[in-house]
Amino acid sequence: MNPFNFEKCGLTRRTLLGGAALGGATILSAPAWAGMVDLPLYGGGGERETTTSFPQKGEMILQRTRPPLLETPWETFDKGVFTPNDQFYVRWHWAGIPDSVNVDTFRLKVHGNVQQELSLSLSELIQKLPKIELAAVNQCSGNSRGFFNPRVPGAQWANGAMGNAKWTGVRLRDLLDSAGVKAGSVQVRFAGLEKPVIDGGPHFMKSLSIDHARDDDVIVAYAMNGEALPFLNGFPLRLIVPGWYATYWVKMLADIEVLDKPDDNFWTKKAYLIPDTPGANIKPGEKDVKMVPINRMVPRSFFTNLVSGAHIKASASNEVRGIAFGGDCGVAKVETSIDGGGNWQVAQLGPDEGKFGFRRWSTAITPSKVGDGVSVKVRCTNTNGEVQSDTPNWNPSGFMRNVIEVIDLVAA
């Protein structure tokens, strides 16, 4: 008997990621149970309920109810390069999420090593500072953790702990300049309204270097895809750090503190660390590795209209498409290979909606006869020349996965 009671869900067989295959491909297997998905995690164990019981959210994959960990169903990514707000993934650390935010009394504080502390209302922030709009991918450091081999503890996500949105806000630099950053400042620390539920637990806070904080692209957003941020994605304000993992994108941002010495709070100094090695890659069990805070993202590309096992047409052209992003810069090219990585064909790219966002790619595949198996690989090279690797990385926290993705199709 499984003491964790999954059998109550009536799962009898593995289903495709997120349910049905899309885009005209044959549907091999429908969800075994309405409201369940079976994420194809390494070694299994990917059965999850889906849920519609979270405010402002449509159907999401339930990884944890409290505090919420909600994964975006994979088929969402085939619909467009912008992830709809109501299916944008959700990740909180502490359950002390306020149950309401009053937009008239809410204040954003800027304080610490500054000439003049600020306490800004939302309307001051929105109306008095120049408006910036940019597209950027927000990706959890541990996105795809469930594919690690060997598996590692943490939220067992498939690939859906990411999303791309158009963010509207004001430059962090403009806020900092309004307060007047004093000489000797080294970092800027961010905290939201999220509170530990046990006294003495570490408040969730993250820091950026002062130079990074003054970057053109770092903004404090009040809108996401043209609407107020969903509550669970950080209403009313969220820090947007394009090109960097989502741990820095503090939600319900309420406190900006300029520091004159390096931040030593738990979440900055001890959590979210990666091995200081290429690709954050080490051997399982490797000891005495220098660890550094996770930082910029690396390029990735995915298939969105087909999943492994899908049937395509023999002697006909089949569209294979997906999304890619460059990480901390744009997408230079996306390539596919149908011979295991020997030869690569350049895929067509969709419109560039901003270098930090998702980019649509597509290609055509024509299997010669019925029964042919076609294994397709896809890889992205970013504008810095960095390309995805054919070997998966491994580290004990399950961070920064960006191995080349493969799907196995069958000509029918």
Query: Which residues within the stretch 333-352 sit at the binding site for ligand HEC (CB under 6 A)?
Result: none
Phi-psi region of 217 (alpha: psi -120 to 50; beta: other; left: phi over 0): alpha
Indicate the residue whose CB is closest to ligand HEC. 198
201 touching ligand HEC, by CB under 6 A: yes
Q: How far is the CB of 396 from ligand HEC (least distance, A)?
A: 10
Cβ proximity to other proteins: between 68 and 367 the closer is 68
153 touching ligand HEC, by CB under 6 A: yes
Cβ proximity to ligand HEC: between 152 and 314 the closer is 152
200 touching ligand HEC, by CB under 6 A: no
Question: Binding string to other proteins for residues 26 to 55, with x set by CB under 8 A, is what?
Answer: ---------------xxxxxxxx--x-xxx
Give me the count of residues in the chain. 412
Query: In the structure encoding, which two tokens stand for residue 163, read together?
Result: 């999303």
220 touching other proteins, by CB under 8 A: no
Footprint of other proteins on 356-395 (CB under 8 A): none
Cβ proximity to other proteins: between 19 and 142 the closer is 142
Please give the Cα distance from 331 to 139 (Å, whole number).
16
Long-range contacts of 224-231 (CB under 8 A, 24+ apart): 224/85, 224/88, 224/165, 224/166, 224/167, 224/168, 225/82, 225/84, 225/85, 225/165, 225/166, 226/166, 226/168, 227/85, 229/85, 230/55, 230/56, 230/57, 230/85, 230/86, 230/88, 231/55, 231/56, 231/101
Spell out the residues 6+ positions from residue 80 whose beta carbon is closer than 8 angstroms to its own. none
Cβ proximity to ligand HEC: between 71 and 335 the closer is 71
Contact 269, 205 (CB under 8 A): no
Cβ proximity to ligand HEC: between 55 and 153 the closer is 153
Footprint of ligand HEC on 108-127 (CB under 6 A): none
Q: How far is the CB of 145 from other proteins (least distance, A)?
A: 10
Contact 35, 19 (CB under 8 A): no
Judged by beta carbon distances under 5 to 8 A according to partner kind, the member of other proteins, ligand HEC, none in contact with residue 370 is none
Judged by beta carbon distances under 5 to 8 A according to partner kind, the member of other proteins, ligand HEC, none in contact with residue 199 is other proteins
285 touching other proteins, by CB under 8 A: no
Cβ proximity to other proteins: between 49 and 319 the closer is 49
CB atoms within 10 A of CB 166: 18
Please give the Cα distance from 252 to 238 (Å, whole number).
6
Binding residues vs ligand HEC (CB under 6 A): 93-94, 153-154, 198, 201
